[in-house]
């Protein structure tokens, strides 16, 4: 928390820098406004100003978030969807961003992760390996029905 009160222009400069550093969503910016000690009555005006200046863009944030989490952290669509919901991103922006994930790449990633997990459990009995692999993939956010079909193919 900042000890001194910032003027509106100083707070806006900090927010512009905050948004330039990486893509942000409105809820992150509002949290930052609280940290900066900005009066709550000014929050909506400042966020609107950042949107008009194109520092904030919900769809751009959702796309960057979805592609980043998929490629870097190997998250599935369900987990990405849940995290974007937690950040109060609109359903429309979430759906658009999830459609940008290449289906072939998604299935390949799912298959590679499942094979790695299944192979890492080689000392476990067959059913335990299968269940732990399915649970792991569900925890990563991949669709359960897709995972079950893939694991069945992989095991047989």
Q: What is the pLDDT at residue 38?
A: 85
**Contacts of 2 by beta carbon, 8 Å cutoff, 6+ apart:** 35, 36, 37
What is the assigned CATH class of domain 8-56? Answer: mainly alpha
d(CA 46, CA 19): 13
Q: What is the pLDDT at residue 100?
A: 96
How far is Cα of residue 129 from the mean position of the Cα atoms in its chain?
28
Cβ-contact 113, 121 below 8 angstroms:
no
Spans in the chain with pLDDT lower than 70: 1-4
Q: Classify residue 45 by burial, with Cβ atoms within 10 Å: 0-12, 13-18, 19+.
A: exposed
Coil, strand, or helix at residue 17?
helix
What is the assigned CATH class of domain 103-155? Answer: mainly alpha
CATH topology agreement for domains 8-56 and 103-155: yes
For residue range 38-59, what is the model confidence (pLDDT) as tens digits?
A: 888 888 899 999 999 999 999 9
Nearest C-alpha neighbor of 153 from the set 113, 100, 95, 114? 114
pTM attached to this predicted model: 0.88
Q: What is the pLDDT at residue 4?
A: 59
Domain boundaries in the chain? 8-56, 59-99, 103-155
For residue range 58-77, what is the model confidence (pLDDT) as tens digits?
A: 999 999 999 999 999 999 99
């Amino acid at each position: 928390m900042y000890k001194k009160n910032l003027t509106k222009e100083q707070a806006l400069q900090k927010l512009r820098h905050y948004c330039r550093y990486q893509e942000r969503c409105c809820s992150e910016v509002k949290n930052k406004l609280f940290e900066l000690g900005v009066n709550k009555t000014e929050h909506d005006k400042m966020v609107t100003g950042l949107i008009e200046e194109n520092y904030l863009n919900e769809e751009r944030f959702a796309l960057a978030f979805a592609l980043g989490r998929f490629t870097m952290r190997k998250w599935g669509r369900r987990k990405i969807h849940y995290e974007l919901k937690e950040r109060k991103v609109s359903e429309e922006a979430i759906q658009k961003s999830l459609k940008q994930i290449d289906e072939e790449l998604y299935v390949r990633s799912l298959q590679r992760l499942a094979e790695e997990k299944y192979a890492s459990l080689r000392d476990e009995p067959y059913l335990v390996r299968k269940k732990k692999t399915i649970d792991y993939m569900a925890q990563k956010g991949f669709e359960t029905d897709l995972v079950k079909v893939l694991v069945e193919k992989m095991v047989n």
